[in-house]
Structure 1
Amino acid sequence: MTITKDNIFKVEQITIKDICDKNFRFIIPVYQRPYVWDEIQINKLLEDLRESCRLESDYYVGNIYVTERQDVKKCFDVIDGQQRFTTFWLISLYFKSSKSGIEKFIQTEHHEIRLSFDIRTEVINYLNDLVGEIKSFDEKNLENEEFLKYISRGIKTIDSFFRTEEDQSLVEKMAKFIYERVKFIFNEAPQNTDLNSLFTTLGNSGVQLEQSDILKARLLNILQDQKFEYSKIWEACENMNNYFEKNIQDIFGFDTSKIKETAFSTYNPDVFTLKVQVGEELFVPEGGKSISQILENEEITTEKDDPKAKSSRCRSIIGFNALLIHTYRIYRSKAGEATDIDSFDTKKLLEIFRDFVASADADKVKEFFVLLWRVRYLLDKYIVKWRLPNTDLSDSYEEYLLLTKNTEQDTNFVRSNQAFSNLQMLQSVLYYNSGFTQQYWLTPYLNYLLEYDGETDLLTILEGIDNSMAPGSKKDSSWDLCKDIRIQPSVNVEQYLSKKLGTSFEHYWFYKLEYLLWKNWENKTDNKFVNYRITSKNSVEHVLSQKEEYKNMLTEEPDLLHSFGNLGLLSVGQNSEYSNQHIGKKMIDFKNKPTYDSLKLHYIYKSYEIDEVWDEVKIKDHAIAMINLLKRHYYPIE
């Protein structure tokens, strides 16, 4: 085929500001699936954006594939990348009253919505309502609308993220940052492209070379010998969606009848012998490339671990890039380094390791690889993973954050779920509050476990880490904790929770309270309690609603409506279910569920049920009871 300007892609780097300046408009074609990003994915993106904004570093989103419509100039069908692109449009809605520039992303200069959906009239109408602040849609009914429910949830998740940010000046900086420094790779397909074929091809495209592959090649290139052996140590740690002992078994040869579980804790070449030896040139099996080939052609993509990937065994809470960074921080701490790495951005792995690659000799590289092995072993032994509650792998079953035990059965090692425990519940709290990509708490916890593997009272240590990290800079405090684990927070809990902040309360305090209520629950055989899990929650619920259906309100102290005693934390979907109902109706809905939506709300409805009253006195009493529980945890001497 002859290559002409009519059959090649136009590729350029583009910002949201560029899109607005060029007055581009976008349509999501009918063959695209609905918007489906959940709270975790949105919060992960927002956290990454916040970190890049703080570091004043450009944020690269990745590819968006489009084709210009023949009938309308500057109007493009989005072929691939619509989930992220739609999320950025929803983010711009939060800033529609801003003067930072991002508000221009909402509409074109002709006041047309910049992002629309082909044929989906209900979506178009809903987006127009959002732009015009018209409330013609019932929020409760949106949960039944396939093409609307995740958009509705996404708006609430974004609103909650920015509203609860302690540094509101940073929020305004983020608006300008997103507008000017978020960069897409804009791929415009020729107009004669078979779009359905292109869409299918993009969806099935293979994995390209990763930053971790390049880092591996650079580190192995420093070694004078044993390159093949150390490459296999790396590969055993690399697959995060399988258990470590299974990775080792796939790569190294050992007699399962003569090895104990503890043997996996440290790399021992006398125990783990390589299955295969190749020629002088070392090859990377997945890419079929040698070290020299990788170093000559360092094309980089983002992290390979798919957060939605299904595994027959488990799904890690972090990706391999994050594991490498945690290990590097621990390595630096043990080497006596006074300062932490500048960034914990998994997309900047090569930049983070640049100084180490430049200065490390062969011995230091080997030390790092051996430490990586030990850290990976501890991660699988002590840290929760996403697992199904039983061995049935049907997609209809929900995954949980679970701890497991590795036991020897016959001549094999078998993973079994541990019972729900205080340690597992606290790790769930940390998972949802420590940066979804980074999980900062892992650095000090894994660092401690390296010294005290096998200690029984790990809950006290993890509570100390959690107490010290919230609130404040997770990155800074997690680095400090590698040196010294404190037991008290840097905030006055009672003073903070006595404020009337409403939806601006930091979600962490609701999560921590759920953990303490679970830990101190009296009736452990209560079926609803047994079924209770700490899950992703991002929407603050007013028990006495701000716009209660019967117009009931607090008359003596109306600002108590926004006090901690009148609030609970729910998922966006749960909050929509309760909506603006009378508290009596909410209580009935709450009690009819198979488990508690919130342990805090259980105590609120239990108090209301006594005399069907929820007033200023009861709101204050509940707040005092919850604050006292937190105080007893943080200040046990008092």
Structure 2
Amino acid sequence: MSEAVKLLTIEQLLSQESQDHYLIPVYQRNYAWGGVEIGQLVQDLYKAFEQDKDKAYYLGTLVVHHRADGRYEVIDGQQRLTTLHILNKCLSKFDGGLTLSEIQWDAEQTNLDFESRPESKAQIDNPAVAIKADSGIAHGFEAMWQALINLKNLEDAKLKDRELIDQFKEFINKQVKICRTIVPKDTDLNHYFEIMNTRGEQLEKHEIIKAQLMGKLNQEDQKAFATIWDACSDMSRFAVSGLPTQMREEFFKQKFIGQYNLGFDEFKNSIQPTEGQQDNEEADDSENQSNAEKDGDSQNQSNTAMPILSLIDSNKNPSINKPEDKDNTDDGKYQSVIDFPNFLLHVLKVRADDAEKEKISLDDESLLTAFEHLTDADADADAIKQFVMDLLKCRLLFDYYVIKQDNRKASDGTEVKWAILQPELSNNSIYAKNTFQTNQGGESTFNEQLVMAQAMFHVSHSSRIYKTWLQDVLAYLWKNYSSIQNGGEAFLDELHRLAHNYYKKQRDKLSYPNVSYFMLNYVDYRLWYEWKQEWKQAGQKGERDFFEKYAPNQNSSAKELKKAFDKFVFMHRSSIEHCYPRNPEDDAKKVDERQLDELNQLGNLCLVSHSENSRLSNLLPDAKRGKVIARLNSGRSTQSLSQLIMLMHEKWEVSQIDGEVSQIDIYTGELKNLIENQIEAIAQ
């Protein structure tokens, strides 16, 4: 790792022996952290300590300017740095038995100075001085002491003795790390503050990783790396939209989605500036070299890494030939199912061997740890170049074959539309089309089915972390992208295999309250898919046969049901509804214990929104039917296909005597057969 970006343990950061001294400049605000911020920090540190006291924990960034007097002027991160000094002082004396004012404090010099604030320096060096003052630092010591007491007083007796306190302190000193970033000597600090104010107080983990990786590359390689990274990091548009204009044209000309043998050097050469741009850059380089020589910098500028400010925010680097804003016609129209930090983890896992895959957690809290093999001292530039090309490959696969929310089609804010789209270039502008489409340009059946299958997975596992289904999909695409371009049938089969593997793990959890959101969404998907297949094979007759099979005494025409199936879309719903209620409003319809087990079967359950569940609540099926039909007549879609089929039955009641088979029993059996038969078909 370069000296400009350096990971320091807290012991190294705070140590007097390191001879690194830090200065809080006068233009920085006074210390302002209170009980909330300090309490959260202590809880986070202790949680990491409890989970694995031998594992590194990353605390963010400290951005500094190396002054002529040797001290590091703190530009960003002074609140964290001051808090760490306060924590270090408090842990050295804390035993849980004495108050802050009862401790015999020693005046020990710290390596933290405050420009033109001698009282602040005196307080951070000696808490005995601080507790007599009315200042931010004084309040910080009080809040820190209380945070440690709160830990000790919890039921499981955290920090219960001196030995555990010492272990906690050792963990903080040795395993907690902060990324110190030194801005170049000639940095325009006003411009830097403008950037920091735009982005917020603290760099994101993926920005730290970007800087660490780029710090190992020479300047030309950094430009190519940053071009790819920045194009891939904006998940709201196609990655190709972020490529330089000349590379974008080459991409569509050569159809690189099917030619993933493009190497880093080949990519780098393709984005070289034009002759006129080259002349300007050479002139700039010459001027920079001259200035460096005047400053006594003997380093070879042609091999020097870009300044750290550019590494962190390469969007500010004008030397990278990026497309103009007018070309980004897809910008903001699509919403990704995952954010960039978590996508990085998926890329790491997809490209890893089986042994390494097990070590990679799909949780961005572990992002810095997951990248240590590429950021530590032993990592080489070639490995970093290969990673960023793999990142581009994975992002292109994601763009072409993974669903996204299409904001262009959102109706009234309550409905969403999912799409699988690919980018196309026309008149130097990007537009989107269905990845799999008919010869007439319309959406193919496979495209529609792929969208529904992936949407079913996504809404069942809506968190952006631990998206196992997405990892499975990307792993399949990674290995099979060539065959997928010939059609979506094999891809759809793989999604079905994946869904049925999930189902088989949940076979013994098909009743309330153990049934999962995935299982209920899967029922809706299987009904939708079966309906689509019947219509595809036999037209209106097949469609009628389908509705007669699952709703033989339907209270609606096949035409109305078709409309409901046509408009159905998977959405994030998290309330399990019993079609026949467990606690009916009508006392005469109350159920006993035996009947309650019947109501908890898969055939009486569906997934709806919380508001819909509250609206239907304990109404009997006849009343619910009226409300659902009114919803459909108003132009809105049904929230559950399974619910719709239940309510289309003329009679939906529990059995009255032992041994009687109710419609709920029959429908539950039909659903299980529908799923099991599909498993057998796939196995063949």
What is the TM-score normalised by the length of structure 2? Answer: 0.54
| Deviation of the 1:502 alpha carbon | 2.3
| Deviation of the 1:337 alpha carbon | 3.6
Match among 625, 634, 639 for residue 597 of structure 1: 639
User: Is it true that 1:346 corresponds to 2:364 in the alignment?
Assistant: yes
Aligned residues between the structures:
426
Counterparts of residues 191-340 of structure 1 (less than 5 Å)? 206-207=199-200, 208-224=202-218, 226-249=221-244, 252=247, 254=249, 258=253, 260=255, 262=257, 267=262, 268-269=266-267, 272-275=270-273, 279=285, 289-291=309-311, 311-333=331-353, 337-340=355-358
Match among 462, 478, 483 for residue 450 of structure 1: 478
Name the residue aligned to 2:567.
Answer: 531
**C-alpha distance in structure 2 between counterparts of 1:426 and 1:212, whole Å:** 30
Give the percent of matched residue pairs that are identical in Structure 1 and Structure 2. Answer: 21
Secondary structure of 1:557's match? helix
**C-alpha distance in structure 2 between counterparts of 1:602 and 1:54, whole Å:** 46
Q: CA deviation digits over 1:73-128, x for unaligned, max 9?
A: xxxxxxxxxxxxxxxxxxxxxxxxxxxxxxxxxxxxxxxxxxxxxxxxxxxxxxxx
Name the residue aligned to 1:11.
Answer: 34
CA 251–321 in structure 1, closer or farther in 2 if over 3 Å, else same: farther
CA 379–54 in structure 1, closer or farther in 2 if over 3 Å, else same: farther
Is the 1:215–1:350 contact (alpha carbons within 8 Å) kept by the matching residues of 2? yes
**C-alpha distance in structure 2 between counterparts of 1:367 and 1:319, whole Å:** 22
Counterparts of residues 212-611 of structure 1 (less than 5 Å)? 212-224=206-218, 226-249=221-244, 252=247, 254=249, 258=253, 260=255, 262=257, 267=262, 268-269=266-267, 272-275=270-273, 279=285, 289-291=309-311, 311-333=331-353, 337-358=355-376, 359-390=378-409, 398-409=415-426, 412-417=429-434, 419=443, 421-434=448-461, 436-438=463-465, 439-453=467-481, 454-455=483-484, 456=487, 457-468=490-501, 470=502, 489-491=504-506, 493=507, 495-497=508-510, 501-521=511-531, 522=534, 526-551=562-587, 552-554=589-591, 557-594=595-632, 595-607=637-649, 609=650, 611=651
Name the residue aligned to 2:320.
Answer: none
| Deviation of the 1:520 alpha carbon | 0.6
| Deviation of the 1:589 alpha carbon | 1.0
**Greater helix percent: which structure?**
2
**C-alpha distance in structure 2 between counterparts of 1:560 and 1:549, whole Å:** 18
**C-alpha distance in structure 2 between counterparts of 1:374 and 1:339, whole Å:** 18
Match among 617, 629, 638 for residue 674 of structure 2: 629
Counterparts of residues 120-199 of structure 1 (less than 5 Å)? none
Is the 2:403–2:418 contact (alpha carbons within 8 Å) kept by the matching residues of 1? yes
Secondary structure of 1:635's match? helix
| Deviation of the 1:536 alpha carbon | 0.9
Q: CA deviation digits over 1:149-188, x for unaligned, max 9?
A: xxxxxxxxxxxxxxxxxxxxxxxxxx999x999xxxxxxx
CA 254–563 in structure 1, closer or farther in 2 if over 3 Å, else same: closer
Q: Which amino acid aligns with 1:217?
A: A
CA 599–619 in structure 1, closer or farther in 2 if over 3 Å, else same: same
Q: Which amino acid aligns with 1:322?
A: N
Secondary structure of 1:222's match? coil
CA 434–598 in structure 1, closer or farther in 2 if over 3 Å, else same: closer
CA 370–18 in structure 1, closer or farther in 2 if over 3 Å, else same: closer
Which protein shows a greater Rg? 2
**C-alpha distance in structure 2 between counterparts of 1:502 and 1:407, whole Å:** 47
Q: CA deviation digits over 1:453-477, x for unaligned, max 9?
A: 1423201112223333x26xxxxxx
Mean CA deviation greater in 553-562 or 359-368: 553-562
**C-alpha distance in structure 2 between counterparts of 1:53 and 1:629, whole Å:** 47
| Deviation of the 1:585 alpha carbon | 0.5
CA 338–58 in structure 1, closer or farther in 2 if over 3 Å, else same: closer
Name the residue aligned to 1:81.
Answer: none
| Deviation of the 1:532 alpha carbon | 0.5
Secondary structure of 1:226's match? helix
Is the 2:580–2:652 contact (alpha carbons within 8 Å) kept by the matching residues of 1? no
| Deviation of the 1:549 alpha carbon | 1.2
| Deviation of the 1:635 alpha carbon | 3.3
Secondary structure of 1:585's match? helix
**C-alpha distance in structure 2 between counterparts of 1:546 and 1:353, whole Å:** 51
CA 337–428 in structure 1, closer or farther in 2 if over 3 Å, else same: same
| Deviation of the 1:388 alpha carbon | 2.5
CA 460–356 in structure 1, closer or farther in 2 if over 3 Å, else same: same
CA 59–396 in structure 1, closer or farther in 2 if over 3 Å, else same: farther
**C-alpha distance in structure 1 between counterparts of 2:39 and 2:229, whole Å:** 37
**C-alpha distance in structure 2 between counterparts of 1:589 and 1:222, whole Å:** 63
**C-alpha distance in structure 1 between counterparts of 2:223 and 2:268, whole Å:** 16
**C-alpha distance in structure 2 between counterparts of 1:51 and 1:459, whole Å:** 41
Q: CA deviation digits over 1:256-314, x for unaligned, max 9?
A: 88554647856442884245776556558xxx8144999xxxxxxxxxxxxxxx95321
Name the residue aligned to 1:124.
Answer: none
Q: Which amino acid aligns with 2:613?
A: N
Is the 1:261–1:407 contact (alpha carbons within 8 Å) kept by the matching residues of 2? no
What is the TM-score normalised by the length of structure 1? Answer: 0.58
Secondary structure of 1:405's match? strand
Is the 1:539–1:569 contact (alpha carbons within 8 Å) kept by the matching residues of 2? yes
Q: Which amino acid aligns with 1:619?
A: I
Q: Which amino acid aligns with 1:517?
A: L
Gaps of 5+ in 1: 20-49, 63-174, 182-203, 295-309, 472-488
| Deviation of the 1:60 alpha carbon | 11
Is the 1:52–1:58 contact (alpha carbons within 8 Å) kept by the matching residues of 2? no
Is the 2:575–2:607 contact (alpha carbons within 8 Å) kept by the matching residues of 1? yes
| Deviation of the 1:417 alpha carbon | 4.7
**C-alpha distance in structure 2 between counterparts of 1:250 and 1:59, whole Å:** 40
Gaps of 5+ in 2: 1-24, 61-153, 160-167, 169-196, 286-301, 315-329, 436-442, 536-542, 544-558, 656-660
Q: CA deviation digits over 1:296-348, x for unaligned, max 9?
A: xxxxxxxxxxxxxx953212111111121111112212xx6455225322133
Q: CA deviation digits over 1:488-539, x for unaligned, max 9?
A: x334x2x432xxx423321211011111111011457722111110111111
Q: Which amino acid aligns with 1:356?
A: L
**C-alpha distance in structure 2 between counterparts of 1:600 and 1:606, whole Å:** 10
| Deviation of the 1:59 alpha carbon | 11
Secondary structure of 1:574's match? helix
Secondary structure of 2:571's match? coil
Is the 1:257–1:412 contact (alpha carbons within 8 Å) kept by the matching residues of 2? no
Q: Which amino acid aligns with 1:598?
A: S
Q: CA deviation digits over 1:379-405, x for unaligned, max 9?
A: 000001111354xx8985854221113
Is the 1:389–1:399 contact (alpha carbons within 8 Å) kept by the matching residues of 2? no
Name the residue aligned to 1:136.
Answer: none
Q: Which amino acid aligns with 1:462?
A: L
